[in-house]
């Protein structure tokens, strides 16, 4: 007697279902091989600067709450805020604010349908970085 042939199961579009095994697709390039593009660097910087501004705001709010609480508590907070650590945090936050502002303008320009070509996007990315450094230096010089 001949064995009965079992019907073969079909998956999507009549194909046989995939048997679990090694994935056969290209892998992302290794970090030592991958060359970051300006668009990815500026995107990551925008996220980092947004978080950096949050850190500075928390420090400033702590200082203000300390001023409203007591003289001794304010003395501690003021010592931290006016120390070299506070200077570094607030100067970095100032740069982050300027960078975040310029990157936002860049993004608005992209949303209008302009500047989407790779060379233009790279130039605008560099303009955001260089412009934010220049504006930070100008602001620090004006405030001192």
pLDDT tens per residue across span 6-54: 555 555 566 666 667 676 666 666 766 778 889 899 999 999 999 999 9
- 25 membership: H or E segment, kind and range: none
**Residue 9 counted as domain residue:** no
Q: What is the pLDDT of residue 11?
A: 53
Q: pTM of the full predicted structure?
A: 0.74
**Residue 90 counted as domain residue:** yes
Nearest-10 crossing angle of helices 38-69, 71-81: 150
**Residue 108 counted as domain residue:** yes
Residue 40 is part of which domain span?
A: 36-143
CATH code assigned at 97: 1.20.1300.10
Token pair for residue 75? 């003395």
- With CA atoms as reference, report the closest residue to 126 among 55, 61, 23, 42: 42
**Residue 60 counted as domain residue:** yes
Q: What is the pLDDT of residue 80?
A: 95
pLDDT at position 88 over 60 = yes
Q: What is the pLDDT of residue 51?
A: 93
Alpha helices per DSSP H over the chain: 38-69, 71-81, 84-111, 118-143
Number of domains in the chain: 1
What's the mean pLDDT in 78-102? 95
Q: What is the pLDDT of residue 23?
A: 64
Contact 21, 105 (CB under 8 A): no
**Residue 25 counted as domain residue:** no
**Residue 104 counted as domain residue:** yes
- Measured CA to CA, the distance from residue 87 to residue 59 in angstroms comes to 12
């Amino acid at each position: 007697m001949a064995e009965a042939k079992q019907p073969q199961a079909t998956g999507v579009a009549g194909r046989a279902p995939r048997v679990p095994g090694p994935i056969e697709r290209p892998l992302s390039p290794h970090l030592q091989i991958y060359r970051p593009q300006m668009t990815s660097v500026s995107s990551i910087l925008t996220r980092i600067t947004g978080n950096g501004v949050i850190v500075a705001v928390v420090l400033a709010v702590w200082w203000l709450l300390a001023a409203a609480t007591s003289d001794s508590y304010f003395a501690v907070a003021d010592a931290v805020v006016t120390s070299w650590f506070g200077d570094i945090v607030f100067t970095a936050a100032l740069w982050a604010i300027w960078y975040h502002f310029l990157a936002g303008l860049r993004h608005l320009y992209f949303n209008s349908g302009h500047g989407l070509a790779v060379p233009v996007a790279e130039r605008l990315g560099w303009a955001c970085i260089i412009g934010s450094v220049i504006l930070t230096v100008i602001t620090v010089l004006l405030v001192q």
